A and B are shown apart, each in its own frame.
Chain A
Amino acid sequence: MSAALFRQTLPILFGYLPLGMAFGVLFTAQLDYAWWYAPLMGVTIFAGAGQILGVSLIAAGAGMLEVFVAMFVLNARHLFYGLSLLGQFRGAGWRKIYLIFGLTDETYSLLTSRPRPGPKAEEQRNDFLITLCNQVYWVVGCAVGALLGDNVAFDSTGIEFALVALFIVLTIEQYKALGEQFPLWTGALAAAVAVTLLPPAHQLIGAVVLGTSALLVQYRWRKVATEGPARG
């Protein structure tokens, strides 16, 4: 791997090590499991927000259907990352499955913004190496954090707020990228309704169904507004 390629991954190193450590500390502070489950999750799941949400799901003893829905919905934004990389990954052979597996927020933003001067096959090999580096940073962060949390005694009451803080940061980033407020209000309102009407176990999925329905309705309205009322 060339030094120039490694340098491109440095911002992710500085982001993933501390965030992975935060997850590791949270994991051992909140749960009564062996520390190495934290890096194991980094190896197989490889999703920052997903793993951090996972800690609160495990702590609550969530059922497997709820786990599946919560993870799928939280990571649903990845569906749209793939859509924009269909061409870039085409023909990558055996590397393609790992490129798809490793499509985190950070990897996606690096792979779609980095310069690609070489032939396609060579750049796909570079994409693969970048993804691998990113996952190594992440797994090392998870392991170091979990070991720290296991061996350094401190009062961790309230550390679960890291999840809320992460979601606030991601919401602000989404708003800055979009420049539009209404999806934020749609989501917030859907959550408020779901929290008011539903028991805790169904609030997340209820809010997602409500929010998605509102976006579909809004899509219909926009279509009618731009194409005029349907005839016939």
Chain B
Amino acid sequence: MDNTTYIIAFIAVATAATFLTRVIPFLFLSRHHEHPLLLHIGRYLPAAVMALLVVVFLLRSANWSAPAFGADALIPCALVVILHLWRRNALLSIVAGTAAYMAIQQSGLFNL
């Protein structure tokens, strides 16, 4: 698959998958929307998925073999958490955390 075919296929698949998550309730679930199992999953699954995404991608962002043991990603992570609990401004938290991570990676601060 060449690059152009790949990204067109990617966009088509991502578009279909995203639209499916939005249209399925209107197609199939209208009679079941009060089912307690669906309510339970609907209440807790989004939070569980977000937390697992954080863990999977945070583990991949850090350099665990350096003596600082992952501090290159854990410090920006802590900054995002503290800023967001304090100001609750999503954009500020994301920009500050990303800038901190970029500064640490580009300076090689924790790779000694």
A interface residues with partner B (beta carbon < 8 Å): 15, 18-19, 22, 32-33, 37, 40-41, 44-47, 50-51, 53-54, 56-58, 61, 64, 67-69, 71-84, 86, 89, 96, 100-101, 103, 155-175, 178, 180, 182-188, 190-192, 194-195, 200, 203-204, 207-208, 211-212, 214-216, 218-219, 222-223
**Those of B9-31 within 8 Å (CB) of chain A:** 9-11, 13-26, 29-30
B interface residues with partner A (beta carbon < 8 Å): 3, 6-7, 9-11, 13-26, 29-30, 33, 36-38, 40-61, 73, 76-77, 80-81, 84-85, 90-91, 93-95, 97-98, 101-106
Q: List 30 A-B contacts (CB under 8 A).
A: A22-B94, A37-B11, A50-B14, A53-B53, A67-B13, A67-B17, A68-B14, A76-B21, A77-B45, A79-B29, A80-B25, A82-B22, A86-B33, A100-B22, A103-B22, A160-B61, A161-B76, A162-B98, A165-B98, A166-B90, A183-B47, A186-B44, A188-B55, A190-B52, A191-B54, A195-B59, A204-B56, A212-B45, A218-B44, A219-B36
List residues of chain B with CB within 8 A of the CB of A164.
54, 57-58, 61, 73, 77, 80, 97, 101
Q: Whole-angstrom distance between the alpha carbons of A96 and B26 in the complex? A: 10
B42 touches A79 (CB 8 A): yes
A77 touches B14 (CB 8 A): no
B58 and chain A: residue at smallest CB distance: A164
List residues of chain B with CB within 8 A of the CB of A100.
19, 22-23, 26
List residues of chain A with CB within 8 A of the CB of B29.
79, 82-83
List residues of chain A with CB within 8 A of the CB of B54.
164, 167-168, 171, 188, 191
6 closest pairs, A vs B, by CB? A82-B25, A187-B51, A191-B55, A187-B48, A80-B42, A158-B102
A217 to chain B, nearest CB (A): 11
B48 touches A183 (CB 8 A): yes
Known: A41-B14, A58-B6, A79-B25. 20 other contacts (CB 8 A): A19-B91, A74-B49, A75-B21, A79-B29, A80-B38, A100-B22, A103-B22, A157-B105, A158-B101, A159-B102, A160-B61, A166-B90, A166-B94, A167-B50, A167-B53, A169-B80, A170-B50, A188-B54, A190-B48, A222-B40
